[in-house]
Structure 1
Amino acid sequence: MNPLRWRFRAQFLLGFLVCAALLGYAIFLQLKMGLEPCPLCIFQRIAFAALALLFLIGALHGPRDPAGRKTYGVLAFIAAAVGIGIAGRHVYVQLLPQDMGSSCGPPLSFLSETMGPFEVFRTVLTGTGNCGNIDWQFLGLTMPMWSLVWFAALAVWALVTAFRARRRH
């Protein structure tokens, strides 16, 4: 049973389920294991949620025309690319030596109370708090590294699903 042979709806539903599982695991780690997310983690969650939403809408709509499938694929790719950028920045911050300021500043709640949305976004991405801390690893990769892997895999999945030639029934 080759997933690449599944229909568009099933493939996009799988993308949604993967995103939902990743978000669920992040929330589990936060609530049950006490791992507090940093601002860059929150932005990665937002990117996963946006990607999940696009996968779900694409699966529910299930366009029959190639242009519709390609539109959903490109939109999902863009959401994944944003996630790649955020996760990549987080990995960079984590890999910086501690003495070089590998942190991301005050908590997101404080930033949002004292700054406008664009200033908050810019401040968080400049990496000034606890984003440099490594609280969790699996197979030698940190959570942002795994996020980067998953965003890249889901970006490829969205494009392959959307641009793959389909047989007529």
Structure 2
Amino acid sequence: MRLSYRLVNALLVLISIIGMSFALYLEHVKGLQPCPLCIFQRLGLIAMGLVALLALIHNPASDKLKRAYAFLAGLGMVWSAGVAARQIWLQHLPPDQVPSCGPGLNYLIDVLPLKEVFAEVLTGSGECAKIDWTFLDQPLSVWSCLFFVILLLVCIWQMLRRYH
């Protein structure tokens, strides 16, 4: 059974909507406030979903364009997986080595240039090392990283597969 290009992109869009819905559920229903790294992970997921939506709507005939869309969607997942891996690393630091909590993301955006905001957030802070939620004894960052890596593999498969 061959999965069509459009079907895979539709599934990627659906999965990104489900992922964001779960993140918003944890935030607004369960009361888990996202740290700056969590917000950056969401940005990559949204980017992947938007690129997949564009690919779904456009449905290019050219294999090169199909691969370009898959590459761009994959970049969103590389970003999200990398940020999640950084958060996992922070969560496994000894307590005395965890960076101190810095100002919130809203404050950083208000007072710093965007380049410095990215640098500050990716450095991580104490709030990013806190584990608020687990499933099967693993923190959300581990599950998020696994989720993003699986989506990245789908994007890579879309990029490398034969279309004709």
Q: Do they fold alike, i.e. is TM over 0.5?
A: yes
1:64 aligns with 2:88: no
CA distance, structure 2, for counterparts of residue 107 and residue 79 of structure 1: 23
CA distance, structure 2, for counterparts of residue 140 and residue 119 of structure 1: 35
CA distance, structure 1, for counterparts of residue 132 and residue 27 of structure 2: 11
Matches within 5 A, 1:35-46: 35-46=32-43
Matches within 5 A, 1:147-162: 147-162=144-159
Aligned position for 2:89: 92
CA distance, structure 2, for counterparts of residue 28 and residue 162 of structure 1: 32
- TM-score, length of structure 1 as denominator length: 0.91
Q: How many residue pairs get matched?
A: 164
Give aligned-pair identity as a percent: 35
Matches within 5 A, 1:23-38: 23-38=20-35
CA distance, structure 2, for counterparts of residue 103 and residue 64 of structure 1: 51
The counterpart of 1:111, out of the listed 108, 112, 116, is 108
Contact 1:104 1:126 in 2 (8 A): no
- TM-score, length of structure 2 as denominator length: 0.93
Q: Any gaps of 5 or more consecutive residues in structure 2?
A: none
Aligned position for 1:127: 124
Distance 1:137 1:103, change over 3 A: farther
The alignment's C-alpha RMSD in Å is: 1.4
Q: Secondary structure at the match of 1:33?
A: coil
